[in-house]
């Protein structure tokens, strides 16, 4: 029978988040960041620490963790080769967060100059217990300019017993004067394997039953940060009973299946726009969160960019998907990929603002097709064709088929479009929805060029009306509209 005390203790431990519970205590326990670890451990071993350090890098990659380990290593009463013992009075105090000479300042909440002034006053007091007084200033980029100036003065002539460790996720916001006075270390995203190893270890200790595929999925989802990875594992653990498998996890975390994304990309790359739109319709109808779909798509495309530069995609993919994504990366030029990512990011922004989410994704598909065709302008000049305007009239079918030349995406926008009127050099076009109108307007230059080349029309004024999807005149486009849009 466990005693009350031990039960309490166990309960406490359960309540501490994984990421805190599994904060590494030694350099050896830290994943990745090998150069940083090595340099700091050497400095601690040889007593050659500098006075100011700047840890820069993404969230949850070990900055605060290594700052604390370094502080321990410098002050430990019985260090071994630069590693802290985690047993002595100093180490235990730091581990408990109760060390008097380790001062952690959050730049976000101590932004004012007064706080830094106070810091300066306290700095001159020699450490009470430890060899060094260590100041960890987190989110240092959040300090006000005045506070920065005050800090700068301190950094210029720090007392011998003081060490500053500044940490930031936004190095570009830290003044050059500060950067130049500190030893800078750049923290990197952790590799997928490192994250997987860490997750596996925690799962083992916590006796969580989770299969490899689910581990991969979490690691992939965390995008290089270990805190997020541990957070996801904890979430999965809290909400499932028994074995955690990837299907359950996909559901639970609301993830979007990468297979679907890869398949849609295949359609887009092959110019099979109709199929891609139908796939989007299916996602929508089956209740998938399209916002998540976009997030997954953008992560996937960024993965392709990395692949293009010979790095690992940072996506956890099985062999089949690895092969496919490698092929897709190869088939795309870098500028195309960048444009695709830009379009997706824009769609991610837009989807938060509109009610008809599926339209945003459908439009995105059209835009992606356009990007892959090399953009509108390149396909415009087809001046060889004869003028199609007869006696000041423009024929609807002629007009639409001419405009369809702009690109594949435009072609789809024009399905169900109507020429409502053409009077006094003013052309009124009916389009299915607002989004299509917006899209149309992006190509106005190309449209005008075509109107001039094919119809001999100059300076035509173009107006729009929204006529909805179903009112298609052509058989074929009605069919398409049905297939593509009524689904959703
Ligand atoms: N490199 C790493 N090795 C092992 N665990 C890590 C590593 N990076 C992060 N972790 C885990 O994530 C938690 C948070 O890490 P830490 O506080 O060091 O991140 P950080 O880089 O300071 O992030 P932030 O910029 O958000 O402050 C740690 O307690 C640990 O569980
Ligand atoms: Mg931190
Ligand atoms: Zn110690």
Same domain as 265, residue 159: no
Same domain as 320, residue 279: yes
Mind listing the pLDDT tens digit for each residue in 195-220? 999 999 999 999 999 988 889 888 88
Is 282 close to ligand 1, i.e. is its CB under 6 Å away?
no
How many structural domains are present in the chain? 4
Sign of CA dihedral 108, 110, 116, 119: negative
In terms of residue numbers, what domain contains 449?
378-486
Is 439 close to ligand 1, i.e. is its CB under 6 Å away?
no
Last residue of a domain, one of 186, 211, 236: 186
Residue among 16, 31, 37, 62 whose CB has most ligand 1 atoms within 8 A, to mutate:
62
CATH number of the domain enclosing 325: 1.20.272.10
Same domain as 333, residue 302: yes
Same domain as 171, residue 41: yes
CB 110 within 8 A of CB 142: no
Same domain as 200, residue 232: yes
CA distance 47 to 430: 76
Is 60 close to ligand 1, i.e. is its CB under 6 Å away?
yes
Same domain as 178, residue 29: yes
**What is the 73 CA–ligand 1 centroid distance (Å)?**
18
Last residue of a domain, one of 252, 273, 291: 252
Three-class secondary structure assignment of 129-155: CCCCEEEEEECHHHCCHHHHHHHHHHH
CATH number of the domain enclosing 200: 1.10.8.60
Same domain as 133, residue 55: yes
Is 201 close to ligand 1, i.e. is its CB under 6 Å away?
no
| Residues 6+ away with beta carbon under 8 Å from 332 | 269, 304, 308, 340, 372
| Residues 6+ away with beta carbon under 8 Å from 355 | none
Is 132 close to ligand 1, i.e. is its CB under 6 Å away?
no
**What is the 199 CA–ligand 2 centroid distance (Å)?**
20
Is 141 close to ligand 1, i.e. is its CB under 6 Å away?
no
Same domain as 94, residue 8: yes
**What is the 62 CA–ligand 2 centroid distance (Å)?**
7
Same domain as 348, residue 245: no
Same domain as 394, residue 329: no
Same domain as 179, residue 207: no
Residue nearest to atom 23 of ligand 1 (CA): 60
CATH number of the domain enclosing 453: 3.30.300.180
Last residue of a domain, one of 218, 252, 286: 252
Same domain as 54, residue 163: yes
Low-confidence ranges of the chain (pLDDT < 50): 1-14, 375-387, 471-478, 480-488
CATH number of the domain enclosing 23: 3.40.50.300
Mind listing the pLDDT tens digit for each residue in 411-433? 778 877 888 888 888 889 988 88
Which pLDDT score is estimated for 48? Answer: 92
**Which of 413, 452, 450, 451 lies closest to 433 in space, CA to CA?**
413
Q: Around 325, how many Cα atoms within 13 Å sit in the side-chain half-sphere?
A: 29
């Amino acid at each position: 029978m466990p005693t009350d005390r031990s039960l309490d203790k166990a309960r406490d431990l359960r309540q501490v988040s994984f990421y805190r519970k599994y904060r590494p205590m030694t350099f050896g326990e830290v994943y990745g960041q090998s150069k940083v670890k090595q340099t700091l451990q050497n400095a601690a071993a040889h007593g050659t620490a500098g006075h100011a350090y700047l840890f820069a890098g993404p969230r949850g990659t070990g900055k605060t963790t290594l700052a604390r380990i370094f502080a321990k290593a410098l002050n430990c009463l019985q260090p071994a080769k630069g590693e802290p013992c985690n047993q002595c009075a100093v180490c235990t105090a730091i581990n408990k967060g109760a060390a008097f000479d380790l001062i952690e300042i959050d730049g976000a909440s101590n932004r004012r100059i007064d706080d830094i002034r106070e810091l300066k006053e306290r700095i001159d007091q020699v450490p009470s217990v430890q060899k060094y007084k260590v100041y960890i200033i987190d989110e240092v980029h959040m300090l006000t300019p005045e506070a920065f100036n005050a800090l700068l003065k301190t950094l210029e002539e720090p007392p011998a017993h003081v060490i500053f460790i500044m940490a930031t996720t936004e190095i570009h916001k830290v003044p050059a004067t500060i950067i130049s006075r500190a030893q800078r270390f750049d923290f990197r995203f952790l590799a997928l394997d490192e994250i997987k190893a860490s997750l596996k270890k925690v799962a083992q200790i916590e006796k969580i039953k989770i299969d490899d595929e689910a581990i991969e999925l979490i690691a992939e989802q965390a995008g290089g940060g270990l805190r997020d990875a541990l957070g996801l594992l904890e979430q999965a653990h809290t909400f499932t009973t028994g074995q955690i498998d990837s299907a359950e996890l996909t559901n639970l975390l609301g993830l979007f299946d990468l297979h679907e994304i890869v398949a849609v990309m295949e359609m887009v790359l092959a110019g099979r726009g109709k199929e891609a739109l139908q796939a989007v319709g299916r996602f929508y109808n089956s209740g998938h969160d399209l916002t998540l779909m976009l997030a997954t798509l953008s992560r996937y495309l960024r993965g392709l960019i990395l692949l293009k530069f010979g790095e690992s995609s940072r996506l956890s993919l099985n062999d089949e998907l690895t092969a496919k994504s490698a092929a897709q990366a190869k088939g795309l030029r870098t500028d195309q990929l960048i444009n695709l990512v830009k379009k997706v990011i824009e769609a991610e922004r837009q989807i938060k603002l509109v009610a008809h989410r599926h339209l945003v994704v459908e439009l995105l598909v059209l835009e992606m097709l356009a990007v892959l065709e090399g953009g509108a302008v390149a396909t415009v000049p087809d001046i060889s064709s004869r003028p199609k305007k007869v006696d000041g009239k423009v024929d609807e079918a002629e007009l639409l088929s001419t405009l369809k030349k702009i690109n594949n995406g435009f072609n789809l926008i024009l399905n169900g479009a109507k020429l409502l009127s053409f009077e006094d050099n003013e052309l009124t076009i009916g389009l299915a929805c607002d989004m299509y109108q917006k899209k149309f307007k992006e190509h106005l230059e190309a449209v005008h060029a075509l109107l001039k080349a094919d119809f001999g029309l100059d300076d035509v004024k173009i107006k729009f009306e929204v006529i909805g999807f179903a009112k298609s005149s052509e058989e074929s486009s009605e069919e398409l509209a049905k297939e593509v849009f009524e689904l959703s």
